[in-house]
Amino acid sequence: MPDRSAVLAALRAQHIETPSWAYGNSGTRFKVFAQEGVPRDAYEKIDDAATVHRFTGVAPTVALHIPWDMVDDYADLAAHARNQGIGIGAINPNVFQEDDYRLGSVCNPDPAVRRKALDHLLECVDIMDATGSQDLSLWFADGTNYPGQDSIAGRQERLAEALRAVYDRLGADQRMLLEYKLFEPAFYTMDLPDWGTSYAHCVDLGRRAKVLVDTGHHAPGTNIEFIVAFLLHRAKLGGFHFNSRFYADDDLMVGAADPFQLFRIMAEIVLGGGLDKASGVAFMLDQCHNIEPKVQALIRSVLNVQEATAKALLVDAEALRKAQAEGDVLGANAVLMDAYNTDVRPMLAELREDMGIDPDPVGAYRRSGHFDKIRAERADGAAAGWGA
């Protein structure tokens, strides 16, 4: 059986990054429901991310989205984060919300539009330099809606050219994480529709280009843990954007729709060495909190990832390998199910007490009065949200 002290040490070392955009007003195409206490700028988003870290102990970085989190002085923003006890994580460019990108960004048939998009990507590398960020997280809305609209092969060539220019600009300790999406907003072809396309581009680029797996970006029934295991084995798994989906890219709280899938993913991570710092796998949230309280939802999401990780760490790897080698189908499955069916909450409560934080982070936050405080402090001004 796994050594309990080793399990606790691994859980203590795990870091789960929260996204700045999840703290602002966000929603669906139908409606964005405004909430009280929402941050008004990037500094207040960092304050909320620091609050999540304070109550969980394992969320020490926050991802930024540019230009949603644009400021005059990014070094000052990074200093503010440090003063709050956290750091700046991945930088996420935005090349999908301007009218110029109607036919794509780096894959657009217009060279002027492609140049504009590339300049923004390079600007985001400058922001990485200023903030100390190590990861450039790329997602492109590029694609086509109709057969014949554009050359599929030609768009791949334009994509490769842009990625190469950005990759060559990265510093020695910086990485490119390349995300993919099956569909939306393009419905005939997406230029990065799946993990294989992302993987091929990353292989061409080099060792510091890795695939980013968003758990909501797959066709129904896709075996995401297979993708994870394959990429991890090939040293091309850069990290995750964790969320839950019932139908498509729903961006609901991670573990809400299918906690067993989250466990299966984390089991492949643990068994494949993905929790080791040397693997470089980044655990990041990418969620939309439309009807639930922002900070509380993110605390719960961090705990969901922790619980799935704890169960994965309890998998008896030796017994599993033995059953697999003997062709014991039910025995091997039982090893996984025994770990999944274990109630890890007492162990996690013990870990938090040892870390000097409340064993019930959600309850502690609700009792803290933090929401009432930010609701009063942020009553004036424009709340941040999608596009701001």
Residue 353 lies in a domain: no
Q: Which residues pair with 379 in a beta bridge?
A: none
CA pair distance 257, 304, nearest whole angstrom: 11
71-96 mean pLDDT: 98
CA pair distance 114, 95, nearest whole angstrom: 10
Residue 383 lies in a domain: no
Residue 206 lies in a domain: yes
User: What is the pLDDT at residue 359?
Assistant: 98
Q: Domain tally for the chain?
A: 1
Name the packing angle between helices 370-377 and 294-313 (round to 10°).
Answer: 140
Task: Return the half-sphere exposure (C-beta side, CA atoms, 13 A cut-off) of residue 95.
Answer: 29
Length of the chain: 388
Residue 384 lies in a domain: no
Residue 374 lies in a domain: no
Residue 128 lies in a domain: yes
What range defines the domain where residue 227 resides?
14-313
CA pair distance 280, 296, nearest whole angstrom: 28
333-355 mean pLDDT: 98
Residue 348 lies in a domain: no
Tell me the longest C-alpha to C-alpha distance in the chain: 66
User: What is the pLDDT at residue 30?
Assistant: 84
Tell me: pLDDT of 387 over 70: no
149-165, pLDDT tens digit by residue?
999 999 999 999 999 99
Residue 363 lies in a domain: no
**Are 232 and 199 contacting, i.e. CB atoms less than 8 angstroms apart?**
no
Q: Minimal CA–CA distance to 121: which of 142, 145, 103, 152?
A: 142
User: What is the pLDDT at residue 388?
Assistant: 54
Q: Minimal CA–CA distance to 106: which of 157, 144, 69?
A: 157
CATH number at residue 155: 3.20.20.150
Quick one: what percent of the chain has pLDDT higher than 90?
Answer: 95
